[in-house]
Amino acid sequence: MARIVMKFGGTSVQNIERIRNVAQRVAAQVAGGDEVAVVLSAMGGTTNQLVAWTREASPVHDAREYDAVVAAGEQITIGLLAMVLQGMGLNARSWLGWQIPILTDGIHGSARIEEIEVEALIERMRQGQVAIVAGFQGLGPDNRVTTLGRGGSDTTAVALAAALHADRCDIYTDVDGVYTADPRIVTRARKLDRITHEEMLEMASQGAKVLQTRSVEIAMNHRVPVQVLSSFSDAPGTLVVDEDEIVEKAVVSGITYSSAEAKITLQRVADRPGVAAAIFGPLAEDNINVDMIVQSASPDGDSTDLTFTVPRSDLDRAMQNLEKVKEKIGAESLIARDEVVKVSVIGVGMRSHAGVANRMFQTLAERGINIQAISTSEIKISVLIDAAYTELAVRALHTAYGLDAD
């Protein structure tokens, strides 16, 4: 007997027929003797519709009201699944965020879970009741509904698994696992049987949409074994595990790409102390994350060009800030470009292998792809390139690192 958290996303609960399919999977898990908690998203499309209404209502949101509106979708799916399971003769009940409660901080729209009071849930799960929990939502210190940001149901599931000391958190989705690259681009992409938490974290941060970044952080910190698998097939999925559970570590586990960044260049910036602070200080104060930074000498030699990336969603705000900065520091021009893509090569084996970065640069150079910026971590190398080369770069790198399926 194990204690399992099962999470189903929007496409898995799209309509009553699919909710019945979810119920079958839950019933099978219960029949195996496990204690089961289920976390659900809203029906696919519902949250988008709700978000669209909030935009139409007022371009400037009160985040507390936004949360009240967009949290409505999960309330519907959890009640419906409880009904279907009850109709099949199972003991089940739905739980809203405020009922458990799932306590979060007060950052409406992107709240962080602080505590989940699981005593009542555990007691009922021990008695054989399936706990069906609304994903994405919690209760803030102001006694109002909070939401965890897009994809937040993954986070609810993993945080609940951690609080319940669950044996596993199964994330059911519309793909059957984590791939070495996006299979829509790389036809020879392979499904990974196992991946480390750290690799999964980098992949999620660098554009792989299979899991929300925050959920992987929680899984890593609380050592929750996570499995990504399909609601629509019985194929085995991908296990996200601790590094010591993988004996044969691949040098590179996956190639990702992300179009979520935009590039900004300030030309002819005076090369003197305090200039970087004058540029990046106002962005930091406005909560805009700067990622890749490249400084290059201007042709005339007494000034530099500064290029960096910001999240595309923050580009307008960043440019407003920088227009002011440009005057102040006397830069010649300020240029924004959003036709860029960040391509990343990820793998824990990189730590103990030299030449990984070099192979990346060489592979891209051979295809005539210019690298506009570079950033690295211990287990990741990212490059910024022209968006038109996305597919070419990802496919070439996939082959170059020996990831292609036979």
Chain residues in the site for its own copies (CB under 8 A): 16, 19, 50, 53-54, 56-62, 64-69, 71-73, 75-76, 78-84, 86-87, 93-94, 96, 98-99, 143-145
Q: How far is CA 68 from the centre of its chain?
A: 23
Phi-psi region of 7 (alpha: psi -120 to 50; beta: other; left: phi over 0): beta
Q: Using the minimum distance from each CB to its own copies, give the nearer residue, 10 or 237.
A: 10
Closest CB to its own copies among residues 145, 239: 145
Whose tokens are 């793909």? That residue is 175
Residue 124 Cβ, how far from its own copies at the closest point, in Å? 13
Virtual CA dihedral for 54, 59, 60, 65, nearest 10 degrees? -10
Report the sign of the C-alpha dihedral through residues 359, 362, 367, 368, in that order. Answer: positive
Between β-strands 168-173 and 3-8, what pairing exists: parallel, antiparallel or unpaired?
parallel
The residue (of 59 and 368) whose beta carbon lies closer to its own copies is 59
Q: Which is nearer to its own copies, 79 or 225 (CB)?
A: 79
**Minimum distance of its own copies from residue 180's CB (angstroms):** 39
Closest approach of its own copies to the CB of residue 352, in Å: 52
Taking alpha carbons only, the member of 75, 77, 136, 129 closest to residue 108 is 136
Cross-strand pairs, 255: 345
Amino acid at 10: G
CA distance between the termini of the chain? 38
Q: Which is nearer to its own copies, 36 or 306 (CB)?
A: 36
- Secondary structure of residue 303 in the 3-state scheme: strand
Cα 283 to Cα 27, 164, 319, distances in angstroms: 50, 39, 10
Residue 38 CB, shortest distance to its own copies, in Å, is 13
| Cβ-based nearer residue to its own copies, 120 or 335 | 120
122 and 91 Cβ atoms separated by less than 8 Å:
no
User: Rounded to 5, what percent of the chain is helix, strand, coil?
Assistant: 40, 25, 35
**Shortest CB 77 distance to its own copies, Å:** 9
Least CB distance from residue 146 to its own copies, whole Å? 13
For the CB of residue 160, give the shortest distance to its own copies in the complex, in Å. Answer: 18
Beta-bridge mates of residue 94: 132
Query: Smallest distance, Å, CB 230 to its own copies?
Result: 23
Q: 46-57 vs 72-87: helix axis angle to the nearest 10? A: 150
Which residue lies nearer to its own copies by CB, 22 or 331?
A: 22
Based on CB atoms, which residue is closest to its own copies, 97 or 177?
A: 97
CB of 65 to its own copies, least distance (A): 4
> Is 234 in contact with 245 (CB distance < 8 Å)?
no
Which residue lies nearer to its own copies by CB, 139 or 318?
Answer: 139
Give the distance from CA 294 to its chain's centroid. 26
Question: DSSP secondary-structure letter at 243?
Answer: G
CB of residue 16 vs its own copies: minimum separation in angstroms?
Answer: 4
Residue with Cβ nearer its own copies (144 or 188): 144
Task: Report the alpha-carbon distance of residue 107 to residue 345 in Å, rounded.
Answer: 33
Structural tokens at position 130: 């399936």
